[in-house]
Structure 1
Amino acid sequence: MSLTARHLEENGIPTVVFGAARDIVEQAGVPRFVFTDFPLGNPCGAPFDREMQRTILGIGLDLLESARYPASTVKTPFAWPNAAWRANYMRVDETALEDLRKAGEERKARQAARKAQFGG
C-alpha cells in the first residue's frame, strides 16, 4: 500500500495511508500517514465502532487538507478496548500448540489437494 501511495503521489494524486504498523509505513516514505496503535487489520478503528471509524476517517481527511511537509504522520487519540492486546498479540503458549499444529496440518492438506486438482 505504501508503494502504491508513493506512485500515485508521483503522478499527482494525493493520498493518505491509514495503518497500524508505524515503523513499516514510515520506512516506506508515504506522504501522509494516519497511525492508529491497534492490532494489525484495524487501522480505522475498533470493529463496529462507527463513531470511532468516522473520527479516524475525518483525521485522515484533515491531514490530506492540512499537511504542509512530506512524510507527515498523525497519531489518532484512541486506545484499543482491551489494553492488554499488545502483550497477547500473536502469542503462542503451551495450551495452543496442539490446535495450531492441527490447523497447520489441515492447511497443508488443503493446499496439497488444490495443487493436485489444478496441477500447480
Structure 2
Amino acid sequence: MQRELERQGLATVGLSLLRKLTERVKPPRTYYLRYPFGHALGEAGNRDQQRQIVRDALSLLETVTVPGTIVESPYRWRRTRFGPEASSSGA
C-alpha cells in the first residue's frame, strides 16, 4: 500500500514492530519500535509518549532520502519517560 501511495505522489512512513519482516518487505520508510504487539504508538493513555512517537515518525518524511530505510526508535518499552516527568537526560 505504501509503495502505491508513493507512486501517486503521497509520501508515507510506516511503523513497525517486526524488523526482520520490514527488511524483507522494504517499505519506502519505516520507524521501528521495540514495543510489544498492539502498542506501536506506546502505552495506553500515555499521550506524551504517543505524541513524541508520531512526531518522530513524521520527521522521517523530511529526513529519509533512501527508499527502504528503517530508523530504529531510541525509546524502550516502559523505560523511557516522556512529557513533564521526563528527566533532563532525554529519551
Please report the TM-score for the alignment, with normalisation by the length of structure 1. 0.61
Percentage of pairs with the same residue: 32
Shift of 1:81: 2.0
Aligned match of 1:106: none
1:3-42 to 2 correspondences below 5 Å: 4-42=1-39
1:35-50 to 2 correspondences below 5 Å: 35-50=32-47
Alignment-mate amino acid for residue 45 of structure 1: G
Q: State which structure, 1 or 2, has the greater radius of gyration over its C-alpha atoms.
A: 1
Deviations 1:11-62 (A, max 9, x none): 2111000121111122111011001101111111121111111111111111
1:20-99 to 2 correspondences below 5 Å: 20-81=17-78
- Runs of 4 or more above 6 Å deviation: none
Aligned match of 2:88: none
Q: Distance in 1 between matches of 2:68 and 2:75?
A: 21
Please report the TM-score for the alignment, with normalisation by the length of structure 2. 0.78
More helix by share: 1
Alignment-mate amino acid for residue 57 of structure 1: V
Shift of 1:78: 1.4
Gaps of 5+ in 2: 80-91
Could you tell me whether the CA contact under 8 Å between 1:16 and 1:34 is conserved in 2?
yes
Q: CA RMSD in A?
A: 1.4
Deviations 1:67-102 (A, max 9, x none): 1111111111211128xxxxxxxxxxxxxxxxxxxx
Could you tell me whether the CA contact under 8 Å between 1:6 and 1:29 is conserved in 2?
no
Alignment-mate amino acid for residue 20 of structure 1: L
